[in-house]
Structure 1
Amino acid sequence: MSAIASTIFYLLFTSFICGRAQTEIKPGSSLSPTTSPTSWPSPSGQFAFGFYRQGTGFAVGIWLLGKKNNTVVWTANRDDDLFSPNAKLQLTTDGRLLVQTEEGEEIAIATTTTSSTSASMLDTGNFVLYSRNSRVIWQSFNYSTDTILVGQQLSSGQQLVSASSMTNHSSGRFRLIMQNDGNLVLYPVNSASLSSDAYWSSNYLGYNYDYLLLNKTGNLFLVDSTGKKADNILYTAKSPFKNNTIYRATLDSDGIFRLYAHSEGGSNSILWSALNDTCKVKDICGFNSYCTSIDHKLPTCHCLPGCDFIDQNDSTLGCRRNFSESECRNGKENAVSYHMFAMESISWGGGNIPFVQKQMPKEECSSTCLEDCNCAAAIYQSGICSKHEFPLKYVSWDMLDNSTAAFLKVGNLSLNYSNGAFETEHPPSNLTTSNESIVKIVYVILGFSLFLCSVIAVVSHLIYKMRVLRYKRLLDIGDLGLNYEDVALRTFSYKELSRATNQFREELGKGSFGAVYKGTLYRGRRVVAVKRLEKLVEEGEREFQAEMRAIGRTHHKNLVHLLGYCSEGSNRLLVYEYMSNGSLSKLLFGDVRHPYWEERVRIALDIARGILYLHEECETPIIHCDIKPQNILMDEFWTAKISDFGLAKLLMPDQTRTFTGIRGTRGYLAPEWQKNTPISVKTDVYSYGIVLLEILCCRRNLELDVLEPDQVLLSCWVYNCFVAGELHKLVLGEDVDKKVLENMVKVALWCIQDEPALRPTMKSVVFMLEGVTEVAIPPFPTDDY
């Protein structure tokens, strides 16, 4: 029997035995974070699946039980919010594995195309869902986080991502990738995965190995498609362990990939490490800092001269300059403001591309960097001077390496710079500013002091006058009643958002009040969408206030989440979560494949639940006023979320209707907009009805390029098909549930009734779509038929 056949037989046999031994977890079973049962154990009791405590909340995952501490080996939705003690994990009666939050929100733990009929926690550490014929339809082994267990594969293109820390299992800063070229490589998460970013690899480039495997004897190796193992096994067990020893290979939070063995007594030992020195891990200390260690243990991060830690409580987040940059004139620095700090044994490798690389004497390398406005540091090696900008990454210190010299530009007026550890270990070397230069500087200062003071006074006055004019313009508009203290959002500076969007370079879309740009925050860890309002008149200010008031205190899984805002001078910007899969309009009417029937049904329910939240569950009811496919965005999991609250109309607690000017988009406007009558939440119901028809048929409400004249107006064609009992014409060639299709068509036709009183509420719409409420036969939607 070949090696791959043996491996497959072992996996199937293990899953079969463990699956039969496990007490079946049946639909309707549930777990609680605080009251028993809190988990479902494996047959041997070595593994468990359920809630575990993380910080102040609870996460759902799998852990290996120990006498003192449990070891988490898998976490579901690891980057989502933690759950409260009142959450409930359940295998529902319709076969879904989900968590129901205290607020009633349902969060999927496993997504399957087929309903499960049972589940099991296996002794391999794998949690599985079964279909009616006992076929595995979902398993945690297919969704690795930071660990692989015995029998689990890390296939080509897959990766492990480290945890943030030993106690926080959200995604961390390092990743292990099984590359398509057969090489297993470690990179920092925020890197381009180039060879210059790698800090460890298996060196099997070009061997076309397909996956990494950990077998039951503790051997860790790469395997190709034929089952052939790599000549150099990453780890081979030197002495046999007992049969009940459990092995795991984990990418730890410090960026090192390690193999562990857990004995029956609960103790664990490290069998193998990809690296023995944590300081060899690139980006372990962040930008503008470097790592030192004693005997390859207890790594310590240090800031480069002229920098301080971004967070004194977490030195791994890197450092930033502790001095202000002076004015640059004619491409040269003001030498009075800086000096060059010379260091040995310090270098920075790939990932820092020099903007100048030239052969010159060592002394000239330092002085030319001091005078260059763009130069923050220089490296001198083998007669070559390389000048770099900040920030510097992958900085390393090697006391045995004296082949390079580093020069760093430091401000003479540092802002409380103190780095005791650095001063002790590396005393300052000679400064390039000599005594003679200092004397000349004093004369220059005395000669031009009066002139400089005059220039500063004039410039300051002009800046003040400009700022007064800009703010006066905004004050004339007024704040329209918005109390910023009531909006729990983060405030951003304009400079911060400009840097996050790379000076507003990548445009995602454009609306009537401005454009939306793609950006990144938190050192590239969070992708966001930044809406920049461009009409700085009353109309644009009202748009900004409407967005803030409508979304600031709303939070629902089917609403785009507003993360923060910028209100600086005349700049008005809003920061939203990034929706990676674009708009529903692109999905329904684009050239790519249309969503499957089940996806369309789910999307229709997502939108209905979002509108229901706006109408009935917010502290202040909100009329969106512009429900259309372009304003429905899809996240990375294809969840539909409502966006663009710029036209939203807020109602007072005792209001049900309000007067306002015509808003929204033609084709989705309710008839009452044209009649100058008060609008209500029923205007959104009408728009939703049109959108629902477009979702069902994957076409726009108005299309001129159709086969038959009666098909031009979608709502008219749908009603005619409904009366004639020919709804199949709407979804030709698709395998759909006819009963569900008829039910949804009737709901849509009720929603687009001409009289608002005849339209259902969004709560009724949700109930009808979910099948809770029967749907009556609708009358003609309008008088135009």
Structure 2
Amino acid sequence: MTSSSYATPQISLKFIIPILVLTSLQLLTSIQSKSCLNPSSSSKVIISGNSTILSENRTFVLGFFNTNDDSKWYLGIWYASIPTPTYVWVANRETPLSSRESSALEIDGGKLTVKDKRDSGCDVVWESVGLKSEGEGDVKLLEDGDLVVVDAHGAAVWRSFDFPADTFLPGMNLTVGQTLTCWKSDNDPAPGRYSLRLRPPDYGEVELLFDGNRTYWTSGNWTGNIFSGVPEMTVPYIYRFYFTNPFTETATFGFTETQLKPLTRFNVDSSGQVRQYTWSPQTEFWNMFWSEPENPCRVYGLCGNLGFCNAKSMVNPCKCFDGFRPSDGSGWDAGDFSGGCVTNSDNNYNCRNDKFESIGDVTFDQEKVESSSTSRSDCERKCLSNCSCIGFSHNPKTNSCKNYFGEILNLGNSSSDLGIIQDSLNIRVSKRVSGKKIEPKTVILIIIISCILAISSIIVIIFLILRKNTINRKKLEQEESVFPVTNLKVFTYKELHAATNGFSEKLGHGGFGAVFSGIVEESTQVAVKRLERPGGGEKEFRAEVCTIGNIQHVNLVRLRGFCSEESHRLLVYDYMPNGPLSGYLKTGGRNLDWDARFRIAIGTARGIAYLHEECRNCIIHCDIKPENILLDQDLSAKVSDFGLAKLIGRDFSRVLATMRGTWGYVAPEWISGVAITTKADVYSYGMTLLELLGGRRNVEGPPDGGNGGESNEKWFFPPWAARKITEGDVAAVVDERLGGEYNMEEVVRVGLVAVWCIQDEEVARPTMGMVVKMLEGLVAVEVPPPPKLLQALVSGESFRGVVSNGQTNTTIARLSNESKDSVSGA
């Protein structure tokens, strides 16, 4: 009886456990089938596989895409009207689909769902949040890029604009609680570490965050038409900003397109910067108009642990020190530096054998610090004894020691302002130790092999040199026969390298390359420009150079010769002993009397007019500014760099990027993306003429008394000068260094011509030929209207930026009602 009572439960458990397991599996299968494999009766397939949905005018497209991994697919929206793949919204950022063929977008159970329907099963990888739809619904992709779900009555019940990814489009609203989050890298749409939102608790500005809680950049407060810290937003011919209910919990920020309607977008990049782009149909390229923070090293944690940030590096701002390597090599190559750097070590790594490398005075962010008072040797020994210690610093004056643990972020040079510590840092690196000794026989064998390789290399090098000299000699003979009609000399790269002493004496740097001083033909001084991004092949380059070389004018810098050898593209010009005009337009610079200035104004205009109207083929300079107006020994003006825009391939985005610091020279129609004409040069000439008249750059301190005695303000000169000139007070604009010694009639003429040249509309600006006649007094000059766009920037007052503690907080006056009317009517 007793044994029976114990046996019965064992038999029961033996059968019950498998039954429970089987029942559980059936239950899970039932649940999965209900949510995915067996959709509800209201399920509706929107797109699947390679099918897409286009907006009405085919500007945007909705579909499935991948970046560089065929095993990761995403539902997204991108521009259908441009050849460059540019994604503005991604649904399943964190859960990619396995293939496009198994991908589907459906409305199921009142929700928008993305499903991965494989042979082995079906998963819902994404579903809409906040969608409450009853009955049948439909999906529409609007022309502004907004994906909208509408119910049976046509009312919108869900829209993608309410759930943005990393891109801010015209018509989209950024409200309290919404964020834009960057991609993890250029090839990975997964959410990255940087995001943008309206800053709590006042919600009167936007901020960039690291890991959702560390603010490293703010826009400054809303002034009524822009954010005070982003003066580049004052471009009314591209977009119009609005901010409803600022400084409240119902704040909404957005922007709309202008009548020009260039494709434009704001993007939180994986580099942690917010950037504004406009699409140029001519170059088929996204022009980046501005980015913040402007210095990439001000992005918090950009280079990860022990990664060093160098803002001067144009390709890759992050690097690892010697003895370290990127922890994620593929991510590092794709622009995701968040993994930082790790030490190199072998299989027999022993932290006790480590050493320290000094990386000098740097700034960095480190929260785990152990401080003590001891000698440097003891400080180093203390850190070495603890494998968790990653570095130390020691101050010999105070004998203070600091040992650092955990992560070291924001490593940069001493000019960085993100690090909370500035010190001479010593970081821990592995010291590879090998106990194996190399045998003497092996050493002898290595020496013999090395000698054989060295002798073979010398023979090969001598052969290659002789062969190259033969090829160059034949090429030079061929060149002399190809270009018999030009007076240009064809230089070899070796000749120009020797003439410039290895490109050691730099005269300046322009939009197309650096300029170096050189001596050719024993005693003739020349200026050698080394082009950085030449376009076209060698044959096309030579043809264009010969075209430019045949252009001769007293107000154009003469091209003496060129070099086109392999990847080297260099131009040789006459040397201008008095340098560029920009050297006379700065505080403490050399002064020019009025006669010289007036001659420079007319000479420059004649040179540009010759390029526009008298050459066989019209040449648009594309980069008129004081740096490209050179002065000879008699202070005569010589326009330089003409024809380079055509020579380089009219890479307008490149030229615009070089003008980043002096954006005031660029004509409005150029920035807006429309095709430019010779009137773009006229606009740039007008801006230069104002600088020549005022004896100052367009952006620097205001005239005496213009800023209430504050000496640390920046000031945008052209709007103020244009207003004074059109009001008849030209004398207020003239350079005070002239001391009143100038011809008032000529001054008035120059001022009026300058304002005519910077008119908003191309048709209102004179041609350069007409400008010459106006300056020479052959044509009467009427009083022009003030440029509306320039006046809208400042609303009749100066554009000022107050600089304090190394950071710039720009304050801009609100637009007056009159200026608002002017902009809306423009």
Q: TM-score, normalised by structure 2?
A: 0.39
More contact order relative to length (CA 8 Å, sep ≥ 6): 2
Q: TM-score, normalised by structure 1?
A: 0.41
Who wins on radius of gyration, i.e. which is larger? 2
